[in-house]
Amino acid sequence: MPPITIHPDNPKLFLFRGAPRVLVTATEHYGAVMNRPFRFARYLADAAERGITCTRLFVLFREMQSVLNPYSTCKPESLDYIAPYPRTGPGTALDGQPRFDLSGWNPEFFDRLERFLTLASEYGIIVEITLLSNTYGDGVWALQALHPANNLDGWTDIPWADYMSTRHPALFARQVAHVRKIVECTRRFDNVIYEICNEPGGEAYHGAPTLAEVNAWQEALAREVRAVDDTHLIAGQEAFAYRLPDESRRSGPDVFQFADASFTMPSTLSTCTRCPTWSTAVRTTTSAPSCRGSCACASCATTAWRSTPSANR
């Protein structure tokens, strides 16, 4: 059975198992596989009962717990975090657990991944597998398996924003290996879409990767997906800019804007494509919902807005 694809007669629809398909989802359970206590069988059964046809799955990125947003499935306790890599040590990572061996693969993770996708397939639920993610800042970056302090590869310090670039060949090689491994293990499923990166962003600070660098990194990883699999859809979005072009010349509070100069952001699903080139379709942001607390502004008393819906939480 060919995998889900864009409907040949109506690009606003998908074609899945011979029938038109609209993707309906209302979930935040991105960490269903990585979070050991999470009962994903119960979740998928409930989703199917309620007519949910799509779910999103992070396979490496781990979110940070905070006072205002303490829990989601993507914020497991360190003892419950299941990564694609085994935690063997020697030495401890920044979360106090053994460091990751990036040269090996964790059987527990891939067993859960297989079972999750199999069950989702039985329910006819599409799974958007999110291969990598923005790490947003030093605190979240410190939780990730590819942070230099958390694995055995012996890298020197890598700034968090450089994660979304090819500036560090050894880091990029590990990202490529991760992407290819996930695709190799999941390409037999017809209910899978691959997403290169969650909320890719560039120009976060002076000297950080530019938008062009971040997009080139995504395109390079998309080519790696295509080297392993040439049939599944790839979903993606062009990198957003953290700062407006003239922000350094503004006076007043230091408020970061998650939008590019034209205040447009690509729509993730409308950029599904079977080649590594991103679609030009965009969704115009006409309003600015406010968020408080764990936003990227100078202080939690200042409101800021983010142009990606999932960031407004």
Give, for all 313 residues of the chain, the pLDDT tens digit.
899 999 999 999 999 999 999 999 986 789 999 999 999 999 999 999 999 999 999 999 999 998 888 889 999 999 999 999 999 999 999 999 999 999 999 999 999 999 999 999 999 999 999 999 999 999 999 999 999 999 999 999 999 999 999 999 999 999 999 999 999 999 999 999 999 999 999 999 999 999 999 999 999 999 999 999 999 999 989 999 997 655 444 444 443 333 333 323 333 333 333 333 333 222 223 333 333 233 333 332 222 223 333 333 3
- 52-79 pLDDT tens trace: 999 999 999 999 998 888 889 999 999 9
What does each C-alpha distance from 145 to 13, 73, 174, 260 come to in angstroms?
A: 37, 17, 11, 29
pLDDT of residue 68: 83
How far, in Å, CA of 195 to CA of 133, rounded?
10
The radius of gyration of the chain's CA atoms, rounded to the nearest angstrom, is: 19
pLDDT of residue 276: 36
Give the distance from CA 109 to its chain's centroid: 17
Measured at the CA of 227, the angle between CA 226 and CA 232, to 5 degrees, comes to 30
Q: Which of 190, 276, 186 is nearest to 14 (CA)?
A: 190
pLDDT of residue 71: 87
Q: Which of 87, 130, 131, 78 is nearest to 107 (CA)?
A: 87
- 229-254 pLDDT tens trace: 999 999 989 999 997 655 444 444 44
Q: Which residues touch 12 (CB under 8 Å, ≥6 apart)?
A: none
For 26, phi then psi, to 5°, come to -150, 50
DSSP 8-state assignment for residue 31 = T
> Tokens 């717990």 appear where?
65
pLDDT of residue 308: 36
What is the residue extent of each domain of the chain?
5-287
pLDDT of residue 292: 29
How far, in Å, CA of 242 to CA of 259, rounded?
6
How far, in Å, CA of 272 to CA of 266, rounded?
11
pLDDT of residue 256: 38
As a whole number, the mean pLDDT across the chain is: 82
Question: Any idea which architecture 5-287 has in CATH?
Answer: Alpha-Beta Barrel (3.20)
Q: Which of 26, 4, 192 is nearest to 113 (CA)?
A: 192
How far, in Å, CA of 146 to CA of 85, rounded?
10
pLDDT of residue 44: 96
pLDDT of residue 66: 87
How many Cα atoms within 13 Å fall on the side-chain side of residue 68? Answer: 8
Specify the amino acid at residue 224.
E
How far apart, in Å, do the first and last CA atoms of the chain sit?
A: 38
Residue 130 near residue 61, CB atoms below 8 Å? yes
How far, in Å, CA of 133 to CA of 147, rounded?
13
pTM of the prediction? 0.80
Characterise 229 by phi-psi region: left (phi > 0), alpha (psi -120 to 50), beta (else). beta
How far, in Å, CA of 25 to CA of 234, rounded?
18
How far, in Å, CA of 86 to CA of 70, rounded?
26
